[in-house]
Amino acid sequence: GPFVWTLGGVDQNGDDACNDLTLAFMQAARIVRVSNPTFGFRWHPKVKDEYMREIFECIRHGLGYPTLRNDPVLVANAMYWHGHPIEEARTWVHQACMSPCPTTKHGTQPMRMAAATANSAKMIEYVFGNGYDPVVNMQMGPKTGDPRKFTDFEQVFDAWVKQMRWLLGVLVRVVNVGRYKQSLVAPRPFLSGLYERSVESGLDCTEPEGERGNARVTGFTFIENPDSLAAVKKLVFDDKKYTMDQLCDALEANWEGYEEMRLDFVHNAPKWGNDD
């Protein structure tokens, strides 16, 4: 993946960390139009309008960056889930593409450690297949009921929650095992010699002991879930334009012979992020 340079945010005292260099980076990005490195911006309520104008101008040019991250939420996240003191949590930068990682010897990872990635669109797909995956011809997710018999949106959503919990649960278990076994099967002595916490403790850099860390799972294609759920709610249950039987028939046919219906679901339903 690309390098991500982190801009904005607050300093360890909680004061706005934006400066002239923040503006210069955004202005240069629009001129050079590089795809790597990319940028992430830590938004917080103290950011001045002059910086936000440059941020939105950069986004308006279609560069795909900077990503906007809610700084107060992610600082609180680092404190709550990983035990960082607030001064340490406020130093966070993007690790890999999106993972918030404080830049202290206890708060950062020296490399990519155990992680897991999901094709999250499978969650909604499994709702309409009762957990069965037609691509691999196997029962993968839990059986959450015949979707043709769902009579209200709440049943669809409850089935989706069960599929979501199952899939993310698989990822979390894989990550947990990987993080605690990696130092035993694949230690990194060279990197450990460069890592302050490892030198002080004598432990391999992949050893999670003493690290407050930022273990993560990655859910690609997650946006297909809210978009699909919103479309089902509107067109099937709110507008009653289609039945669950019709939708299941179309999905089983991979929309072949149902092009007009497919376009209806694409264009005439709410989308995540559109405030509709």
Total residue length of the chain? 276
Neighbours of 57 (CB within 10 A): 13
Residue-wise pLDDT tens digits, 97-113: 777 888 877 666 555 55
Assigned token pair, 58 = 């950069």
Q: What angle do CA 144, 146, 151 make, to 5 degrees?
A: 100
Three-state SS sequence of 210-262: CCCCCCCEEEECCCHHHHHHHHHHHHHHHCCCCCHHHHHHHHHCCCCCCHHHH
Determine the Cα–Cα distance for residues 42 and 72; give it in Å rounded to an integer: 9
Residue ranges per domain, the chain?
Answer: 4-101, 116-267
pLDDT confidence of residue 208? 77
Give Cα 187 to chain centroid, integer Å. 28
Instruction: Check whether 180 has a pLDDT greater than 70.
Output: yes
Residue-wise pLDDT tens digits, 57-114: 999 988 888 999 999 999 998 899 888 899 989 999 987 777 788 887 766 655 555 5
Determine the Cα–Cα distance for residues 91 and 101; give it in Å rounded to an integer: 8
pLDDT confidence of residue 241? 97
Determine the Cα–Cα distance for residues 11 and 7; give it in Å rounded to an integer: 11
Determine the Cα–Cα distance for residues 204 and 188; give it in Å rounded to an integer: 7
Mean pLDDT of the chain: 90
Instruction: Check whether 155 has a pLDDT greater than 90.
Output: yes
pLDDT confidence of residue 274? 80
Burial class (CB in 10 A: 0-12, 13-18, 19+), 163: buried
